[in-house]
A = this chain, B = another copy of it.
Amino acid sequence: MARHFKDRIIEGDCIEEMRKLADGSVDLVFADPPYFMQLGGALTRPDQSNVDGVDDEWDKFADFAAYDAFTRAWLTEARRVLKPNGAIWVIGSYHNVFRLGAAMQDMGFWILNDIVWRKTNPMPNFKGTRFTNAHETLIWAARSKEAKYTFHYDALKMLNDELQMRSDWTLPICTGGERLKDREGRKLHSTQKPEALLHRVVLATTKPGEVILDPFFGTGTTGAAAKRLGRHYIGIERSADYVAGAQARLKKIKPVSIEDLAVTKSKKEEPRVPFGQVIEAGMIAPGAWLVGQNGKRARVRADGSLAFGEATGSIHRIGALVCDAPACNGWTFWSLETKRGPQPIDLFRREVRRQMAMAPAA
């Protein structure tokens, strides 16, 4: 690879531009391709406001066949320009990630992990039709089964409070000051990724001084993380607007030494345990009776709600109802009726929490 390509953004189509790069010339590829979301019409929130969905031209394809052809074309070039011991990261959602992963396996990439990015603040499902789509998936793969890929086990363990870094990462979406805006104050790119996500990727799977290629550079999050962590980047991006935004952004990034990196400490909050999880765990069966501190009894249902006469609701609401109080902490109010006498339900929460504590929030 010609040396002058390093730390530059190339404006153009990623397949064409990758063809100009030499075989085996980059250490890592990070790719955030279009997801082919196939959104329907307009979507409104319960307050009637409009959801600004992804309607960009770059996300439109005729069908899966067209999307697959595109996917295989850019993956082919990406694999060619990777060094033999190189690796690739690809991010997607359920709309496209299965096609990405299958194509990668077909082409000889060797999957090392799939990583789940759990969003702390995802967009809710406004119509109540599905589960909140609260995560995206990253695939980490070596160029081949034989590749000696880079993995900084200890650095990642340090990032995770001395615990092995797991395959699920909990991070907020990109908002606030980090989100690039256009002159009118609107988001410059509809799907800008948080730098924290790329920070973890770059730190874990590249060495300082190595070259990272991002064929869908967008607003340059990969470049930002690379520059900050002393790696080189090559970005390819079709949109002149995005290129301009990324250029300005990268100019401001100051590289730091690893030891100066402030490691974000994971919050050790006590995990929230819904009462329903006690049911699912089999600790309390649907149909069991709970007795309140005032002696009133209510019956447990399969979804974790309580039935008291005609009324149904959460342990808190029914607790408030039978107390004729505006509010009630159901966890401390109710006990399970057993042959050996009443057992406070909070005991069961403690047990579930003990199990949950092994999967830290961050």
Contact indicator B119/A200 (Cβ below 8 Å): no
Say yes or no: A168-B112 contact (C-beta < 8 A), given A94-B139, A105-B64: no
Say yes or no: A274-B156 contact (C-beta < 8 A), given A98-B97, A356-B170: no
Task: Check A340 for interface membership: any CB of B closer than 8 A.
Answer: no
Docked CA distance A192–B59 (Å): 40
Say yes or no: A131-B274 contact (C-beta < 8 A), given A159-B303, A281-B196, A286-B261: no
Say yes or no: A159-B282 contact (C-beta < 8 A), given A94-B111, A101-B98, A116-B168: no
Select the stretch in A4-12, A120-128, A180-188 that faces chain B: A120-128
Say yes or no: A280-B171 contact (C-beta < 8 A), given A48-B327, A166-B132, A203-B302: yes
Contact indicator A114/B102 (Cβ below 8 Å): no
Contact with B along A238-282 (1 / 0, CB 8 A): 000000000000000000110111111010000110111101111
Q: Which residues of B contact A72 (CB under 8 A)?
A: none
Given B112, B272, B303, B327, which contacts A263 in the complex, CB threshold below 8 Å? B303
Q: Which residues of B contact A279 (CB under 8 A)?
A: 159, 199
Q: Which residues of B contact A98 (CB under 8 A)?
A: 97-102, 104-105, 139
Select the stretch in A25-33, A75-83, A147-155, A214-222 that faces chain B: A147-155
Say yes or no: A260-B301 contact (C-beta < 8 A), given A61-B106, A281-B196, A326-B44: yes
Contact indicator B302/A263 (Cβ below 8 Å): yes
Docked CA distance A89–B154 (Å): 37
Task: Check A237 for interface membership: any CB of B closer than 8 A.
Answer: no
Task: Check A362 for interface membership: any CB of B closer than 8 A.
Answer: no
Say yes or no: A170-B264 contact (C-beta < 8 A), given A98-B97, A131-B113, A158-B304: no
Q: Which residues of B contact A130 (CB under 8 A)?
A: 112-113, 151
Contact indicator B305/A264 (Cβ below 8 Å): yes
Q: Which residues of B contact A271 (CB under 8 A)?
A: 170
Given B64, B128, B170, B259, which contacts A164 in the complex, CB threshold below 8 Å? B128
Docked CA distance A215–B101 (Å): 25
Task: Check A210 for interface membership: any CB of B closer than 8 A.
Answer: no
CB of A198, distance to nearest CB on chain B (Å): 9
- A145, A159, A281, A282 pick with most chain B CB within 10 angstroms: A159
Say yes or no: A168-B261 contact (C-beta < 8 A), given A158-B276, A159-B276, A359-B134: no
Task: Check A325 for interface membership: any CB of B closer than 8 A.
Answer: yes
Docked CA distance A99–B119 (Å): 25
Given contacts A256-B285, A262-B301, A262-B302, 18 further A-B pairs with CB under 8 A are A44-B326, A116-B135, A116-B168, A120-B357, A122-B166, A125-B164, A129-B151, A129-B153, A131-B166, A132-B164, A132-B165, A156-B303, A161-B274, A171-B280, A172-B358, A260-B299, A261-B302, A264-B312
